[in-house]
Amino acid sequence: MTNKQENRGKMKAKLYGIGTGPGDPELLTIKAVKAIEKCAVIAVPTHSGEDRTAYSIIEPYAMGKEILECEFAMSKDMDERVQARLVAAGRIMDCLDSGKDVGFITLGDSTTYSTYMYVHEIVVAKGYEAEVIPGVTSYAAAAAALGTALCAGDEMLMVIPARHSLDTEALLDFPGNKVLMKSGANLLKVLDELKARGLSLNTQIVSRATMEGQRLYRSIAEFEADPDTGYFTVAIVKEDKQ
């Protein structure tokens, strides 16, 4: 064991997994702001288009701090992905070992489809202190922008990443209101299924909720006339049209 490894887990520095909310900097929580201000190092995941968004949200609080870019392989090879997480966790533990608190930022909520939780598990298993700070999800922000409830009364809510391996038809047969996320171009296929089920008017779509360039679509027809099938597009499908 090297000296460095022996020290691992024995310092008092702490890791924070910080949900930045969906995009509007005012949707940061007070807890997130305080954690960022406390951290000497801000870890920024750089695995997709979203990283710059998360960083831009917290930038006003990150002046003069050390920025640690953590690259996460989006490879289909699971070994590569696991390896990238171990490398990122190792670099974060190096910062913790030198006594620096680290704030790992993640767009939306840190427990919802976030890279952070992989790192959290590795770092906690090594004996370090780590705290998860939840945030506002993009789909709650989308519902708020539309002025519609995600779920009410005894309705269920199903959150579906549209890259899910089950086929679209099966997904849509489950009961409850649905949030379709991370669909990209696949969303158009899902919308066809929704139309075939008579759910055209039960479906509303938001792209870039609370970010610059937010767009609201009140129906599938409205979306199809000028679709934004980017990564930040969320569809909300209600069981009962209200």
Alpha-carbon distance 58 to 107, whole Å?
10
Alpha-carbon distance 36 to 43, whole Å?
10
Exactly one of 151, 188, 211, 216 binds its own copies (CB under 8 A); that residue is 151
Residue pair 107/22 in contact by the 8 Å Cβ criterion: yes
Q: Is 240 near its own copies (CB under 8 A)?
A: no
Q: Is 20 near its own copies (CB under 8 A)?
A: no
Helix or strand holding residue 228 (H, E): none
Q: Which residue, 119 or 191, has its beta carbon nearer to its own copies?
A: 119
Tokens linked to 25:
């900097």
Q: Is 176 near its own copies (CB under 8 A)?
A: yes
In 3D, which of 43, 62, 49 has the Cα closest to residue 110? 43
Q: Which residue, 68 or 141, has its beta carbon nearer to its own copies?
A: 141
Residue pair 199/169 in contact by the 8 Å Cβ criterion: no
Residue pair 206/167 in contact by the 8 Å Cβ criterion: no
| Sheet (strand 102-106) strand order | 66-70, 41-45, 102-106, 14-19, 129-133
Exactly one of 7, 9, 11, 34 binds its own copies (CB under 8 A); that residue is 34
Residues 106-125, one symbol each (x = binds its own copies by CB under 8 A, - = not), give ---xxxxxx--xx-xx--x-
- Considering only 39-47, 57-65, 164-172, 184-192, which stretch makes contact with its own copies by CB under 8 A? 164-172
Say how many residues touch its own copies, by CB under 8 A.
Answer: 61
Alpha-carbon distance 17 to 151, whole Å?
27
Residues 124-143, one symbol each (x = binds its own copies by CB under 8 A, - = not), give x-----x-xxxxxx--xx-x
Q: Which residue, 13 or 130, has its beta carbon nearer to its own copies?
A: 130
Q: Is 152 near its own copies (CB under 8 A)?
A: yes
Using N-to-C axis directions, what is the helix angle for 78-97 and 116-125, rounded to 10°?
A: 60
Q: Is 14 near its own copies (CB under 8 A)?
A: no
Strands 203-207 and 102-106, by their bridges, are unpaired
Exactly one of 8, 13, 14, 21 binds its own copies (CB under 8 A); that residue is 21
Would you tell me which residues interact with its own copies (CB under 8 A)? 17, 19, 21-22, 24-31, 33-34, 109-114, 117-118, 120-121, 124, 130, 132-137, 140-141, 143-145, 147-161, 163-166, 171, 174-176, 242
